[in-house]
Amino acid sequence: MQEIRVYREIHGVNEEWAEKNRLLLAEHNVVMLNIIGSPGSGKTSLLEAASDRLSQSLKFAVLEGDVETTRDAERLHALNVPVSQLITGNACHLNAKLVHAGLSDLDLENLDLVIVENVGNLLCPSQFDIGETAKIAVLSVTEGEDKPIKYPLLFREASAVVLTKTDLLAYLPFNLDSCLGYIRQVNNEIPIFQVSATTGAGVDEWLDWVVKMRKR
């Protein structure tokens, strides 16, 4: 009888690099946060709105993940944030090896925190461990309130949710209570921050959480 060949994706290789990242971060006592959300959900805008106050509390750098261009890195560079751009080519997520390349070039000895903005995608980045201390789920009110139950993996794995663009709530048929309920349905304990990068509302509350993560 003819044999059946089975080919399986080797996630083990990514795990090895993720472990190297964890060791590197631990060696320098640096926390790494992995920000994940749909394209355009407001990840870079959140960092822009937060960078000034965050730099008063912690020494931090950003690794920007994108399929193409250095646009997001340029936006943060313009605000004097130390930032590198990680380009994945066609991949819909960052892998641990690419993150390792970015981490290795940072002055980790003089940093408290590295924030990674993953490639805009609500599903794939959650499936790849990059050695982060915690994941942060970013969801904008323009995406619809049901996304936490339609794409539950990120919300299950995240340590916090940032609900962005709340300044637009008045103009959208977005049911905030339903959204909060759906997030709780997937992850009962998770802190949820309601934020507008445009008005600055809620940014400080989220930053308090970030600073606590570093001190923990």
Ligand X SMILES: Nc1nc2c(ncn2[C@@H]2O[C@H](COP(=O)(O)OP(=O)(O)OP(=O)(O)O)[C@@H](O)[C@H]2O)c(=O)[nH]1
DSSP label at residue 67: S
Residue 147 binds Mg ion, judged by CB under 5 A = no
Tokens describing residue 56: 């008063």
Please pick, from the candidates 37, 43, 95, 131, the single residue that binds Mg ion as defined by CB under 5 A.
43
Residue 167 binds ligand X, judged by CB under 6 A = yes
- Residues forming a β-bridge with 86: 65
Q: What share of the chain is helix, strand, coil (3-state, %, to 5)?
A: 45, 20, 35
State the nearest-atom distance from the C-beta of 164 to Mg ion, in Å.
12
Residue 196 binds ligand X, judged by CB under 6 A = yes
Q: Taking CB within 5 to 8 Å according to partner kind, which of ligand X, Mg ion, none is near residue 148? A: none
- Please report, as residue ranges, which positions from 49 to 108 form the binding site for Mg ion (by CB under 5 A): 72
138 CB burial (10 A radius; 0-12, 13-18, 19+): buried
How many residues in the chain? 216
State the nearest-atom distance from the C-beta of 44 to Mg ion, in Å.
3
State the nearest-atom distance from the C-beta of 199 to ligand X, in Å.
7
Residue 157 binds Mg ion, judged by CB under 5 A = no
Q: Taking CB within 5 to 8 Å according to partner kind, which of ligand X, Mg ion, none is near residue 84? A: none
- 126, 138 in Cβ contact below 8 A? no
What is the distance between the alpha carbons of residues 30 and 22, in angstroms, rounded to a whole number? 9
> Helix, strand, or coil here: 86?
strand
Place of tokens 């308090």: 208
Question: Nearest Cα to 182, choosing from 146, 207, 208?
Answer: 146
**Per-residue interface string for the shown chain with ligand X, residues 36-75, x marking contact by CB under 6 A:** -x-xxxxxxx--------------------------x---
Please pick, from the candidates 41, 44, 126, 187, the single residue that binds Mg ion as defined by CB under 5 A.
44
What is the distance between the alpha carbons of residues 99 and 54, in angstroms, rounded to a whole number? 22
Please pick, from the candidates 168, 169, 211, 213, the single residue that binds ligand X as defined by CB under 6 A.
168
Please pick, from the candidates 17, 32, 95, 120, the single residue that binds ligand X as defined by CB under 6 A.
120
Q: Taking CB within 5 to 8 Å according to partner kind, which of ligand X, Mg ion, none is near residue 65? A: none
- 88, 67 in Cβ contact below 8 A? yes
Q: Which residues bind ligand X (CB under 6 A)?
A: 37, 39-45, 72, 120, 164-165, 167-168, 196-198
